[in-house]
Structure 1
Amino acid sequence: MTALSTNSERKAAAETVPATAEDDIPLYEARRQIYPQSVHGRYRTIKWVVLAVTLGIYYLLPFVRWDRGPDAPGQAVLIDFPNRRFYFFFLEIWPQEFYYVAGLLILAALILFLMNAVAGRVWCGYLCPQTVWTDLFMAVERLIEGDRRERMRADAAPWSLDKFAHKALTHSVWLLIAWWTGGAWVLYFADAPTLVVELATFQAPAVAYMSIAILTFTTYALAGHMREQVCTYMCPWPRIQAALTDEYALNVTYRYDRGEPRGSVKKAAALREKGQPAGDCIDCDQCVAVCPTGVDIRKGLQLPCIQCGLCIDACNNVMDKIDRPRNLIAYESEANLEARMAGKPFVQRIVRPRTILYAALIVFACGLMLTALIGRATEGVAAIHDRNPLFVKLSDGSIRNAYTVRLTNKLLESRTFALSVEGVPDASMEVVGDQADSLSIGPDQTREVRVLVTTRDKLPPSTSLPVTFRIRDTSSGLTATVQDHFIGP
């Protein structure tokens, strides 16, 4: 038996086999329980490090403090819905600056596209929250109930006190993790230490308890029970990824040119002594046993495969034991695999038009956001013209327009502004109830004032003049402007 050279040839060979009843694939397939086996190796270590770092950030970040001065929130990352603010360390995002959040989402999408172009579903295998929490839940299950064989044996055995105790402990720890996951989430929306005390003394808002309950249920269900079903059936990214990838993207791949034909260690050694082809794969199924989604990578790239690399670790451990070269399963591109099987030179193109484009777009997006942040104004002004009436004609023939002007102070200190109007000939301005040259605004606040603009100049019929409102910080001299219209008869 010889290895097939290309995917198309393997497909053609499969099509020559007569179809049988066993070959029919049902439209809906009942779920089979997957018992992933523990494994040690480079990629498993990477996954442990990523798990520790990401969960550490998620659970501990709400408690990180950041000094913003008196009367300002001291939490480093805070989504303050009551005051309509988002605090991220030294940044303070106002509602009208939501474009920063939009920019971050666009940047995240571009980074995801670049990751896919370089190494396929590497996000799914290492960084996706579903993967991270599922890894944590499986580690707890393995610690309490044992490894693959112990869990399979226990599940096949009838219920006993010992089995019930192990299952109850596992699910209790799962629920505890899920509960703290929901609890950590709500801490991003209020001062964390204060909310923890309120939650413990049952004085927190009802919405906090509801949010924790919902996230506890979803985390427990998704990471503890649904697991690979989320990746296979619920998540849209595998379908999107298939449309974005190309033949040069690195994916976890079984190297057919080395692995086939399969056989035992003794059989392979005997064939090699006779000068006959023999593959390195000994059909031990360790790659399948460690896979969290139950994929047999030797059947090619499949939708459930999350590219986590655990099968690489398992196969490398076996190769070490039988004294064969490592990386029978490895991160490999389809183009390079076909080149190897055809006896052509090695092909590896990480830098190519697709990755250059994504990288350039990421740099461009970062540059735009950085420029916007550097030039971010700490003051602002907006004006709304009265709709009814649009203007008033006074007894002396003057024309008056009324406006509602909103002044914004984004600094964490009180400021005084002078308001002026430009663009209307022979115009006078009056701020109702205050002085136009000394409008005080508190720290991190806005203020609305009613402004009357009057002109004694005779305006042509159906006049609409552009009018500019300007505010100037009386201390720093910083200014901001907004335009509207002055309407005449």
Structure 2
Amino acid sequence: MEVKGRFRKIKWAILFITLGIYYFTPFIRWDRGPLLPDQAVLVDFERKRGYFFFLEIWPQEVYYLAGLLIIASVALFLMNAIAGRLWCGYLCPQTVWTDLFFRVESMIEGDRRKRIALDKQPWNAEKILKKGTKHFIWLMIAWWTGGAWVLYFADAPTLVYDLATGQAAMSAYVWIGILTFTTYSLAGHMREQVCVYMCPWPRIQAALTDEHALNVTYRYDRGEPRGHLKESKKRLAEGLPAGDCIDCNQCFYACPTGVDIRKGAQLDCIQCGLCIDACDTIMTKVGKPTGLIAYDTDINIERREKGEEAVYRLIRPRTVIYTAIIAAIAGVMLYMQLNRSMTDLSVVHDRNPLYVQQSDGGFRNGYALRLLNKHNKEQAFTLSVEGMPTGTTLEVVGIHKSAADLTKDTQISLSVDADTTRSVRALVFSPAGVELPSSKPMSFKLIDSETGETTVVSDFFRAPGK
């Protein structure tokens, strides 16, 4: 049935906002300077990094993604602690797209009664036209859903042109096809079956909720004993108890998963609030107060039956803990972003051989170094070795020491191209005649010659030992 009310309006508002963000975000531009993509949100496989407006995430910074996933999961727990399956009823992509598909169906085929009548009538021009139009629009929505997804992985305007002219990569067409099929199938045909049978969250949510979480609740203390309007009036005239529920079943007809909320909390209920709107509409028509179905708790029903005031505890230990976890992780991520390093250095010691003895009696260790420059221009660096005895020398294969470096045996200058990494092989030579342990702690220091930013990585110098 067509439901109208505050919760239906909230769902429409969320639908337009979330779908608007999803479909149009790839076309937002963000100037990052020359030779860099100007798409605000982009997962750039070619450059191996992700862009989100002013943020640039490298593969080495995958902890940002981990942090976001943890925040998302804890936020899901927080929503559950506040109002049950709040995510399922308003924000879940399955719910959002199902609402959109259902709206298209209602606009073309009419309300529930008209759709049932249309399904029963034989195939004719009217039925073919309505059914064909509905499925065509569904497919167009599903197609654009798949198309929008791939736009997050390439420059959106360019990819749209390439897709239209048949010049895009085959992988783009394949993914659009897969997402078109899944969106059309899940939102158009399976609908609530996904929520009831396929989604694991209802089972998890049921184990996480508590008695103070708000859930869509039939207030049986007020609604029972139920009966048709005339019957209820007759019972009241006779001095007998009569509830406000007139047994119209509109709450059942409004439910997308077919739940009769009057039977109590059920696993199939997605807490969307449409039954509340349907019931409030009927209560208004028959001149009774709204709120027969509302977000409430069983504890409050029991309290009202005892003549006590309802108690709502949105702030309680679990909601405080969840909020604190989200704030803490967000704070750590913000701190890391504000103190983000624009350079990085990784060191891997040669495994075979661990060391090589030189003709003068000294020893040589080899290391594979990977230098990272996140700046948008070529950057000069100074690489040095610390923690080794006097007389130790550093060499980088393929790089000759500058005049300034010739006076310092353990230092060498080198550069790294803009926005890239550079792999080099470093050789460290111990002085002859110096006795070393089998594993001597030492470190490589990388200094940005322009900004002074310093990165130090500890390792070991291997030798035979005593």
* TM-score normalized by the length of structure 2: 0.95
Whether 1:164 and 2:139 are equivalent positions in the alignment is no
User: Match for residue 10 of structure 1?
Assistant: none
Match of 2:433 in 1: 458
- The structural deviation recorded for 1:266 is 2.2
Q: Deviations over 1:315-336 (max 9, x none)?
A: 1011111110001000001211
How far the C-alpha of 1:466 sits from its partner, in A, is 1.3
Does 1:63 find its partner at 2:27?
Answer: yes
- Aligned equivalent of 1:100, options 50, 64, 72: 64
CA distance in 1, matches of 2:319, 2:282: 35
Q: Is the 8 A contact 1:182 1:215 kept in 2?
A: yes
More divergent stretch after superposition (108-117 vs 432-441) = 432-441
* Contact 2:49 2:56 (8 Å CA) reproduced: yes
Q: The residue matched to 1:396 in structure 2 has which SS?
A: coil
**Paired position in structure 2 for 1:88:** 52
Displacement of 1:114: 0.5
| Matching residue within 372, 386, 391 for 1:422 | 386
In structure 2, what is the Cα distance between the partners aligned to 1:242 and 1:96?
Answer: 37
Q: CA separation in 2, counterparts of 1:266 and 1:450?
A: 91
Distance 1:65 1:159 in 2: 49
Give the Å deviation of 1:289. 1.2
Aligned CA-pair RMSD = 1.2
Counterpart amino acid of residue 256 in structure 2: P
Q: Deviations over 1:262-306 (max 9, x none)?
A: 122222223223332111111111111111111111111111110
User: In structure 2, what is the equivalent of residue 40 of structure 1?
Assistant: 4
Q: Distance in 1 between matches of 2:364 and 2:436?
A: 15
Query: Which residue of 1 is the match for residue 275 of structure 2?
Result: 311
Once the 2 structures are TM-superposed, how far is the Cα of residue 338 of structure 1 from its aligned partner? 2.1
Q: How does 1:262-281 map to 2 (within 5 A)?
A: 262-281=226-245
Matched, 1:295 2:259: yes
The answer to whether the 8 A contact 1:287-1:314 is kept is yes
Moved more, 321-330 or 440-449: 440-449
Indicate if the aligned counterparts of 1:117 and 1:355 stay in contact, CA closer than 8 A.
yes
Corresponding residue of 1:482: 457
- Matched with 1:412 is 376
Task: Find the residue that maps to 2:451 and give its secondary structure.
Answer: coil
The answer on whether the counterparts of 1:249 and 1:334 sit within 8 Å (CA) in structure 2 is: no
* Cα contact 2:395–2:412 (8 A) shared by 1: no
1:253 corresponds to: 217
Identify the match of residue 418 of structure 2 among 437, 443, 464.
Answer: 443
| Matching residue within 388, 391, 398 for 1:433 | 398
Q: What's the TM-score, normalizing by structure 1?
A: 0.91
Which residue of 1 is the match for residue 292 of structure 2?
A: 328
Residues 374-393 of structure 1: CA deviation (Å, up to 9, x unaligned): 22111111111122222111
Q: 1:355 aligns with which of 319, 327, 333?
A: 319
SS at match of 1:400: strand
Secondary structure of the corresponding residue to residue 421 of structure 1? strand
Q: How does 1:158-307 map to 2 (within 5 A)?
A: 158-307=122-271
The alignment partner of 1:438 has SS state of strand
- 1:209–1:313: structure 2 CA closer, same or farther, 3 Å change rule? same
Moved more, 128-137 or 453-462: 453-462
SS at match of 1:389: coil
Q: Is the 8 A contact 1:425 1:457 kept in 2?
A: no
Q: Measure the CA separation in 1 of the matches of 2:40 and 2:305.
A: 54
Mapped contact 2:83–2:214 kept (Cα < 8 A)? yes
The answer on whether the counterparts of 1:385 and 1:402 sit within 8 Å (CA) in structure 2 is: yes
Determine if the alignment matches structure 1 residue 470 to structure 2 residue 434. no
Is the CA contact (8 Å cut-off) linking 2:394 and 2:412 kept in structure 1? Answer: no
Question: Residue deviations 1:330-355, cap 9 Å, x none?
Answer: 00012112222333332211111111
Q: Structure 1 residues 224-233 or 474-483, which shifts more? A: 474-483
Between the aligned partners of 2:447 and 2:29, the Cα distance in structure 1 is 33
> What is the Cα deviation at residue 457 of structure 1?
4.5
Paired AA for residue 474 in structure 1: S
State how far apart, in whole Å, the 2-side matches of 1:460 and 1:396 are.
13
What is the rounded CA distance, in whole Å, between the counterparts of 1:157 and 1:284 in structure 2?
27
Of all paired residues, the percent bearing the same amino acid is 60
Instruction: Number of aligned residue pairs: give it.
Output: 453
- Who is 1:345 aligned against? 309
